Structure 1
């Protein structure tokens, strides 16, 4: 799985490096954000893991240091640090504001344990003797060598502990959430289950070596394959909730933007200060939605002097008598009053009326919230009561 040119490791590492660089400005703006800091550390360590586990890097480290297999404790240390960073990230990610202090304590404990394992791994390597360079089968080749054997077993034990911890944390949290986050946690847990199988394959190969048998294929071929699929599942699990949240947020904004169209169309002639979207069809939905809501509020202010509380009250009574829910009845009443006011405003404008009626207090209640605006817009498009009041206003206006 680890090709001799290392492209299978360098390319994902480059992507992770880019993601790390893109996150750094946010970290500089919010250096005390523990979740953001954990994400940046995780991305940086993941980049280092992919870069340092490639065969060309292993060879380069051994050559530069002049120590055969010097890359082994480096890789074991990075993988241990990455496992610890995963746990720290999950602890911060899953904690509520009330649990933040406890999450910090657990994170410190995890960090200290990780550093202790890394120190022990490097100490054992220094105490041991591994004179022959082994790039792919170090685990089984030195399975009986004093200190090197303990170094390998310590790394696998730490890796197994992290895998069990992450699986438990993810499954426990997944029971409390839904949607993309739950799916992401399920993928992370599945990835760490494969990590456990990776550890089992490694330990089985080592055990066979102790028994005088050669099952190194488990360590050289099966374990790396499991690790590759595991890395893919874990990376997808971390990314999926972010993508899901982004897509869901954009979809909701587009949906609200579309549902506000009838209200925007109703007020299009009364909106006097709307500006064109400089980016045209490339304009982000956030800007589109903000401008549409701003246009709607400007239009309501323009026709406000022509809003009559009596019209609204009459429409409200009609809806309530028909058994409509209070929120929907208010939205229909507001829409009916607005439709009547727009007719009166257009009549006054066409008559070149120089002075508008005295500005009245705000009659409508729906514009006070985004949900209210949407309900009001839907009422303009669908309500027979609104159509009836608009038609009555048109007839009254034409008879004057």
Structure 2
């Protein structure tokens, strides 16, 4: 049972990854890259589960054909090699017609190898069931020998192409994609180690030596680790990009808090009254906070004063801030002043709409601009503008 666990455990991990990707596949099933990822995960799961000795014995008993699992595992492993190359073709991108042509060529070549594996098994004779050492036990048997070499060669070609392409691409990218490619390269190197042990054990049989332990005990852990690394490598960029976007949205949500709090008393739309649960996706909470901010800015627009912004700009420049940063601080000061003026007149009649040449906000065009604006609300210059706006009209002009 221990030998089975070596393959079952990473198989379960790939099944979990496949389950995670299924909702996205239902939503965007036309995406060739996503289809390729799911196909790879599915075939990888099949390889790991079918190659485990307990499964091999069960399949042989179920079919009633001695060693029927051998061509089945070899065919699925060959399909896995082809799936890796197809995924790389789609991952790298390019003209759609070229991608389709290259994918079809790869699928056709590996389909031909799969058919030939079945034919060779049918032509050969393997009467003794071997659950763990079929490769070496039948290494000199006609047709079975050719079947073994064919699957090893097909898998070698796929593994080498995958590793080399990912290694070349690894040096051209960064971020989560680079990490994913590094995992694939590591998986490819482990797979090369698996193939080396298999070839060494088979060649040893041909020369009359017994190196069966390489194929029986060394190769399976290497295959398990290789499949896990390759699967993780293909999944990580997709998960990493999502995690990176979520992390960025979370930081923006947090950094918008000063501006959001400043405008809370000025926000009267659905954005202020609708409550968002704390367990809601952070992207939704960030969008809700931005909507509340924009609503508040619209409400206080009649209270914007160009004089407040120009005074704050002069102070910021005098303190040594660069022009761009000083402009953001000055805009924050004008907003803080307008919030206080709005609060003071909330019970009074709303002032007339500002004339067309009234000051307009210049740093609220997107999430990054709002975050930059929000982070300035701790500035002493903003605090001064806030205090002056809260002072009685007569006192503020003394």
Q: When the two structures are superposed, what TM-score results if normalisation uses the length of structure 2?
A: 0.91
User: 5 Å matches for 1:265-344?
Assistant: 265-273=261-269, 274-275=272-273, 277-279=275-277, 281-320=278-317, 324-344=321-341
Tell me, what secondary structure is at the counterpart of 1:366?
coil
Tell me, what secondary structure is at the counterpart of 2:140?
coil
Change (3 A) 1:15 1:195: closer
Query: What is the aligned partner in structure 2 of residue 355 from structure 1?
Result: 350
Q: Distance in 2 between matches of 1:284 and 1:27?
A: 20
**Residue 133 of structure 1 pairs with residue 129 of structure 2:** yes
Question: Does the 8 A contact of 2:262 with 2:336 survive in 1?
Answer: yes
Residue 150 (structure 2) aligned to one of 154, 157, 162: 154
Cα deviation for residue 49 of structure 1 reads 1.4
**Residue 180 of structure 1 pairs with residue 179 of structure 2:** no
Question: Does the 8 A contact of 1:92 with 1:100 survive in 2?
Answer: no
- Say which is worse superposed, 26-35 or 311-320, in terms of deviation: 311-320
Change (3 A) 1:355 1:66: closer
Q: Deviations over 1:112-152 (max 9, x none)?
A: 11111111111111111111111111111111111111110
Cα deviation for residue 318 of structure 1 reads 4.5
User: 5 Å matches for 1:70-219?
Assistant: 70-95=68-93, 98-219=94-215
Residue 35 (structure 1) aligned to one of 28, 33, 36: 33
Residue 230 (structure 2) aligned to one of 229, 234, 237: 234
Query: What is the aligned partner in structure 2 of residue 371 from structure 1?
Result: 368
Change (3 A) 1:393 1:250: same
Residue 66 (structure 2) aligned to one of 45, 68, 71: 68
Cα deviation for residue 60 of structure 1 reads 2.4
Cα deviation for residue 51 of structure 1 reads 2.3
- Say which is worse superposed, 254-263 or 388-397, in terms of deviation: 388-397
Change (3 A) 1:104 1:330: farther
Cα deviation for residue 196 of structure 1 reads 0.9
How many residues are matched? 392
Tell me, what secondary structure is at the counterpart of 1:201?
helix
Question: Does the 8 A contact of 1:367 with 1:373 survive in 2?
Answer: yes
Question: Does the 8 A contact of 2:10 with 2:228 survive in 1?
Answer: no
Residue 256 (structure 1) aligned to one of 252, 264, 279: 252
Q: Deviations over 1:363-384 (max 9, x none)?
A: 1111122111111111112x33
Question: Does the 8 A contact of 2:14 with 2:231 survive in 1?
Answer: no
Q: Distance in 1 between matches of 2:375 and 2:276?
A: 28
The higher relative CO (CA closer than 8 Å, separation ≥ 6) is in: 2
Q: When the two structures are superposed, what TM-score results if normalisation uses the length of structure 1?
A: 0.91
Query: What is the aligned partner in structure 2 of residue 399 from structure 1?
Result: 395
Question: Does the 8 A contact of 2:78 with 2:114 survive in 1?
Answer: yes
Tell me, what secondary structure is at the counterpart of 2:231?
helix
Cα deviation for residue 231 of structure 1 reads 2.2
Question: Does the 8 A contact of 1:3 with 1:55 survive in 2?
Answer: no
Q: Distance in 1 between matches of 2:22 and 2:183?
A: 26
Question: Does the 8 A contact of 2:14 with 2:228 survive in 1?
Answer: no
Change (3 A) 1:109 1:204: same
Structure 2's unaligned 5+ residue stretches are none
Cα root mean square deviation, aligned: 2.2
Query: What is the aligned partner in structure 2 of residue 245 from structure 1?
Result: 241
Cα deviation for residue 390 of structure 1 reads 2.5
